[in-house]
Structure 1
Amino acid sequence: MDTHAALYEQGKKRLEELRSLPPRHSHSLQQTLEEHGITRRDFMKWSAATAAMLALPLPFSNLVAEAAELADRVPLIWLNLAECTGCSESLLRASTPDVSTLIFNYISLEYQEVLMAAAGMQAEENLEHAMETYQGRYLLAVEGAVPTANNGAFLTIGPHATTGVDLIKKAADGAAAIIAVGTCSSFGGVQAAAPNPTGAKGIHEVLDKPVINLGGCPPSEVNITGTLMYYIMFGKLPALDMFNRPKWAYGARVHDNCERRGHFDAGEFVEVFGDHGAKEGYCLYKVGCRGPYTYNNCPTERFNAHTSWPVLAGHGCIGCSEPNFWDEMADFERPLGRKLIHGLDATADTVGSVILGVTAVGIGAHAIGSLFAGTYEGNKHE
């Protein structure tokens, strides 16, 4: 049996197990979608697109659809630690709810501070009840870094003065799987920027269990929902890269799929924000774009209902899905090549100044850049 066939059978078995559990909502997902004007055809198109996004063959779209319809059988606890709530906003702030947003709402969301009506002791009781009732079965999503300095005193939560360190350890102990949503919970984020007085860390640094990291400030709702769907379908973690990020979402550089890539190859660069090149959509590398050093699917998935993303809007990628981006990628409007890939930005500086012509030299710049990038990426993934 090949790999995909074995995975398909595993998914079928997992969904049969979920189907045996009692539903948590009185309305079916189909009824919920219809109430928002989303047809069955739209839902199946979303299922096929999600399967493709997860790098699964088309037949898996049936599993995606079944998993979405059974999503209310999977308890989800979502903790907010040291963060700005931007990751929750990325998923929930849709002007028009789409399938991904509605499915997230359909999941058995047991605790989420941004969404729940409860407060104070009632909220604490809800969290304790969820952790006890679904011990070993719930999916734990965490947003925000964990301050560890002074025994975690910089993040003290709730009526019992629980530190973030104690809370995440207790919640992780009973979790079936753990997802770090955003760069703060994945790698510490802005909170961990030098000199990091609170000792902020990614949650994997304080836990002894596997963690799926969804880098991004914020990550797209597609990456959040896709990861949830993968777990619902198969009950296990997807294939991960060296930073424990799902390969289906973080397997390619931003640079590789950027709509401005052709201008990079042609040696056409924005020299100063607002110049002729900026108006023509030229490559933003020389004004600081970190696309060549950043792994994410922003160019293909985009934000705000797939409308746009920072590079399309006119500013370079700042590398926010990478570890320590705030320190290692700054400052964000200067080329970084001399620090990581020597030669790439220097070559870009000379594009157009050689007798061979802009196009030929542009291709040369890309070839040289790719050579250095290949060396760097090879070291990165070994």
Structure 2
Amino acid sequence: METFYSVIRRQGITRRSFHKFCSLTATSLGLEPLAADRIANALETKPRVPVIWMHGLECTCCSESFIRSAHPLAKDAVLSMISLDYDDTIMAAAGHQAEAILKETRAKHKGQYILAVEGNPPLNEGGMFCIDGGKPFLEKLKMMADDAMAIIAWGACASWGCVQAAKPNPTQATPIDKVITNKPIIKVPGCPPIAEVMTGVITFITTFGKLPELDRHGRPKMFYSQRIHDKCYRRSHFDAGQFVEEWDDEAARKGYCLYKMGCKGPTTYNACSTVRWNGGVSFPIQSGHGCIGCSEDGFWDKGSFYDRLTNIKQFGIEKNADQIGVAAAAAVGAAVAVHAAMTAVKRLASKRADANQDR
């Protein structure tokens, strides 16, 4: 198979632009500056990784997000970095032709291809609630997973179950890792995931030939190691006890914290507040809507998106949002009182010293 470098050179991309791409890629993945050389070497020498992209119960929002990536562009990821051999949503082939491609890729690249899964399989009635190519998706998923190098679970549907698995879950929709247990699985949750997070995961695997470091839930640490709350630009208002109380009140117009309006940022791990959406332009909180926690397990079954979290840890003890402002004010007041007392003591001591010298 061709390498990424040979493909882009044939497309007329210059060596200078190639190295610029490698530098931008290293930066977007949060790697050290020297990693750009390692990326360049890998893309020059390693063959493109074959990818099979399958769809179960889902709404295709993950694919919609993926094609809007800016760093790298989706066309670079799909046409150059990987060999996307099968994706029934965007491929020209259909019917028997598509099925033939699937079988050919499985046989030709046994143990070498990545199985990207968008959506999940329903288990009820033998998987008959999701039929793909005349067969239950559950059956095709297991068949293709057997010979895959690794599996990427795109989105909340594949990672956690999402709305399909919400109570009462009549179809018994099930996350990928509950069905496939003998292969490494990378979970890239979100509804949908951020475009650059999706292409970033693909870039890492194709560049370094290994899976990224994962957290205990199977998510890539480089994108899911921090809470949205940790890097939110409204965090200073949270710490100051400044909250939006009602939609479109004065606090909302001033951009205060949306915690009381149900924002799940303090308990949601994702890169929304750093990578952001739409080419890094914005993210839901910046648009005036609280985080709904779509990258977390079972977010559909945790009540209304506008129900606020009950407790948060602040100032070393449990405090709710109503008490934070009072606590902050009390702390400031106490500090002022202590400072005033210390100043008075120093002045009194200074007067006594002067009096002793006069004697």
Relative to the length of structure 2, the TM-score reads 0.83
**CA RMSD, 1 decimal:** 2.7
Instruction: Label 1:360 to 1:316 Cα distance change in 2 as closer, same or farther (>3 A).
Output: farther
Q: CA deviation at 1:68?
A: 4.7
Which whole-Å CA distance do the structure 2 matches of 1:132 and 1:245 have between them?
Answer: 29
State the alpha-carbon separation in 1 of the partners of residues 305 and 111 from structure 2.
43
Deviation track 1:172-210 (CA, whole Å, cap 9, x = no partner) reads 111111110111001111111111111111111101222
Could you list the per-position Cα deviations for residues 69-107 of structure 1 after superposition, in whole angstroms to 9, with x for gaps in the alignment? 56762111100111100000001146xx65331322222
Contact 1:43 1:99 in 2 (8 A): no
Secondary structure in structure 2 of the residue aligned to 1:88? helix
1:345 Cα deviation from its structure 2 partner: 9.2
Partner secondary structure for residue 129 of structure 2: coil
Is the aligned partner of 1:172 residue 2:172? no
Which of 191, 203, 222 is residue 164 of structure 2 equivalent to?
Answer: 191
The superposition leaves residues 304-349 of structure 1 with CA deviations (integer Å, 9 ceiling, x where unpaired) of: 1111111111101111111111112x311121235x8799996312
Q: In structure 2, what is the equivalent of residue 83 of structure 1?
A: 58
Q: Call closer, same or farther: CA 1:45–1:157 in 2, change over 3 Å.
A: same
Deviation for aligned residue 1:163: 0.9
2:297 is matched with 323
- Mark the runs of 5 or more structure 1 residues left unpaired by the alignment: 1-21, 362-382
Give the structure 1 partner of residue 204 of structure 2.
Answer: 230
Measured after TM superposition, the shift of residue 227 of structure 1 is 1.2
What amino acid is the match of 2:175?
G
CA distance in 2, matches of 1:285, 1:44: 43
Asked if structure 2 preserves the Cα contact closer than 8 Å seen for 1:241 and 1:247, the reply is: yes
State which of 223, 241, 259 in structure 2 corresponds to 1:249: 223
Q: Is the 8 A contact 2:4 2:48 kept in 1?
A: no
Of 216-225 and 52-61, the range deviating more from structure 2? 52-61
1:128-207 counterparts in 2 under 5 A?
Answer: 128-158=103-133, 161-207=134-180
Aligned position for 1:274:
248
Per-residue deviation, residues 1-47 of structure 1 (Å, max 9, x unmatched): xxxxxxxxxxxxxxxxxxxxx3178973255485xxxx766654553
CA contact (8 A) 1:33 1:99 kept: no
The total of aligned residue pairs comes to: 329
Pick one of 41, 63, 67 that aligns with 2:38: 63
Unaligned runs of 5+ in 2: 334-359
Equivalent position of 1:218 in the other structure: 192
Identical positions, percent: 44
1:114 aligns with 2:55: no
* Aligned 8 A contact 1:72 1:108 in 2: no
In 2, distance between residues paired with 1:24 and 1:56?
Answer: 22
SS for the counterpart of 1:179 is strand
- Tell me the amino acid that sits aligned with residue 165 of structure 1: L
The 1:119–1:301 alpha-carbon spacing in structure 2 relative to 1, beyond 3 Å, is same
3-state SS, counterpart of residue 147 of structure 1: coil
Per-residue CA deviations over 1:149-177 (Å, capped at 9, x if unaligned) read: 1111111111xx21111111111111111
**CA–CA distance in structure 2, aligned partners of residues 115 and 86 of structure 1:** 13
Q: Measure the CA separation in 1 of the matches of 2:10 and 2:252.
A: 46
Change (3 A) 1:91 1:69: farther
Matched, 1:28 2:3: no
Which residue identity lines up with residue 296 of structure 1 in the other structure? N
User: How far 1:65 moved relative to its partner?
Assistant: 3.3
The residue identity in structure 2 corresponding to 1:178 is I
1:47 is aligned to 2:22 = yes
Give, in angstroms, the shift of residue 233 of structure 1: 2.4
Q: 1:65 to 1:89 in 2, by over 3 A?
A: farther
State the secondary structure of the residue aligned to 1:180: strand
Once residues 33 and 242 of structure 1 are traced to their aligned partners in structure 2, the CA distance between those partners, rounded to angstroms, is 43
Describe the shift of the 1:270–1:237 C-alpha distance in structure 2 as closer, same or farther (beyond 3 A).
same
CA distance in 1, matches of 2:184, 2:139: 18
**Is contact 2:276–2:283 with CA below 8 Å preserved after alignment?**
yes
The DSSP-based 3-state class of the residue aligned with 2:329 is coil
The CA distance in 1 between the partners of 2:262 and 2:146, in whole Å, is 42
On the 8 A contact 1:24/1:108 being kept in 2, the answer is no
For the residue of structure 2 that corresponds to 1:240, the secondary structure is coil
Q: Helix, strand or coil for the counterpart of 1:57?
A: coil
Q: Is the Cα contact below 8 Å between 1:144 and 1:185 reproduced in 2? A: yes
* Contact map agreement 2:188 2:219 (CA 8 A) in 1: yes
Q: Secondary structure at the match of 1:79?
A: strand
Report the Cα offset of residue 234 of structure 1: 2.6
- The structure with the largest alpha-carbon Rg is 2
Correspondence for 1:240 among 214, 217, 220: 214
